[in-house]
Amino acid sequence: MKNRSFPNLILYKGIISIFIVLQVNILRAQNDEMRSKPESNFISRLFYGGGFGLQFGSVTLIEVSPLVGYKVTPKLGIGISPSYKYYSYKNPYYPSSRLETNVFGGSVFARYMIFENIFAHAEYESLFYNTKVPGYPVEMQQYNSVLVGGGYRQMIGGNAAMNILVLWNLNDTPDSPYTNPVIRIGFTVGM
């Protein structure tokens, strides 16, 4: 039996690589633009960013999670992050059967810079799953998660960074959308 996931893996890595290169260029352009404009005290304390995910194949995933935050102090930032995820699973044994889920929600978070590139992170997230299974009524479920952990920030210029977070879901249940640990990669400008 042939392994069909290898071409998907190459495609997935290629898309992610292109996305990272584009994000770095966008973040650098935004950073240059931010330096050239005089800003008010409130605006200068804002930071932006988020994450984006794609996967295609028998399981399709599209994820968009922007964030906006406010630097309370030079080391402490708080913010919000709305989130949308689309999952689709095509059963190879029943091609006409496709499971689709739309996930809406968001989170509030706090980050504290412990060292120059190391930070602590705490977050409360609420997600609403709207699942469609052929032949069954649409099912709506809500999951709340309390995530704590830390991260590493790699600067990509003067004011932009890539963040890698390792979080632990304190509200882990059998129905939880996460398995511990939760690993995330995202970008920020301004923090």
Cβ atoms of residues 66 and 82 within 8 Å: yes
Q: CA 122 to CA 183: how far, in whole Å?
A: 14
pTM passes above 0.85: no
How do the pLDDT tens digits run along the chain, 191 residues long? 444 444 444 555 555 555 555 555 555 555 555 554 544 688 888 999 988 888 777 778 888 999 999 999 989 999 999 999 898 887 777 767 777 888 999 999 999 999 989 999 999 999 998 877 767 777 888 899 999 999 999 998 888 999 999 999 998 887 777 788 888 888 898 86
Exposure string of 102-130, with b = 16+ CB inside 10 Å and e = fewer, is ebebbbebbbbbeeeeebebbbebebebe
The structural domains of the chain, ordered by start, are: 5-189 (2.40.160.20)
